[in-house]
Amino acid sequence: MTSHFPESSLNRAPMSPRTLFNTVMTVVAFICGLLALLPLVAVLSYVVIQGFSSLSLDVFTQLPPAPLRKGGGFGNAILGTLLMVGIAGLISIPFGVIAAIYLTEFSSAKIARVVRFATNVLSGVPSIIAGVFAYGIVVLTLVKLNLGSYSALGGGFALAILMLPIIVKTTDEALQLVSQDLRQASVGLGATNFQTVTQVVLPAALPAIVTGSTLAIARAAGETAPLLFTALFSSYWPCPDGLLSCRPDVLFKPTASLAVLVYNFAISPFANWKSLAWAASLILVLMVLITSIIARWATRQKIS
């Protein structure tokens, strides 16, 4: 069977209005894409240029120096950031994942709609409001109980508030993407709803859940305002005698963090502190980059 259409009719004329419009819109879309990337490239390049010159082994192993004194580092801030982000993860990830499982698998449509709306509202709450809330709940409670005031526990609690809606939303969406055929096949083989969720649905959605959790951790690591109200800052090591001799009361003491260190040192008039602020900014960017790479690695397996 031969075609009756001439071959020339399939080629669009180079100067036709449709071809010209398509070319112009392609160029405009390309320029918009470059403009969208421009702020990211500019910020990253500036932070790398300013921070790389101040990087050394001392920044990981030394305490912040006195003003106008060369050397020093911010190893205590790195440990403090990891400590508070770890506390936030221990609080928010289990609660967020279990809440999303309830929304997707067990709740009624009305309850799910209300909770999802509340989660969206919580995700839009400014971080400084979360810090004030954590101050009222954790810091003032510790003061009343004579257990301390500003602490890593308060900072972790504030960061957990910011991480919770991200984890709930990403886990909820991941569970909804799991095919209903998998659930029906599991139930058809005699599994209960609990077995279906834990042994079929959750493993299928695990890459997306890990992605949401790592993105939430990346956001929490860069937050400053909540930590100003809850963890404050410290110029000392969280565990002065080493990690092996660390005691539980370290959770109830003011704790340094990279974000607050950048805030304090960047606005100071001392050149050595400003230099360390750039180095700390670069470390923060690298931490976010590493968590993003982990998220990409975890999502290589597509949800089937």
Residue 220 near residue 162, CB atoms below 8 Å? yes
Q: pLDDT tier at 302 (50, 70, 90 boundaries)?
A: low
Whether 303 shows a pLDDT value over 50: the answer reads no
Sign of CA dihedral 216, 222, 227, 232: positive
Q: Which carries the bigger pLDDT value, residue 249 or residue 260?
A: 260
Instruction: Summarize pLDDT for 31-42 with one digit per residue, the tens.
Output: 999 999 999 899
Mean pLDDT of the chain: 88
Half-sphere exposure of 247 (CA within 13 A, CB side): 5
Whether 261 shows a pLDDT value over 80: the answer reads yes
At residue 3, the pLDDT reads 54
Nearest to 146 by CA among 257, 249, 256, 247: 249
Nearest to 188 by CA among 206, 173, 202, 200: 200
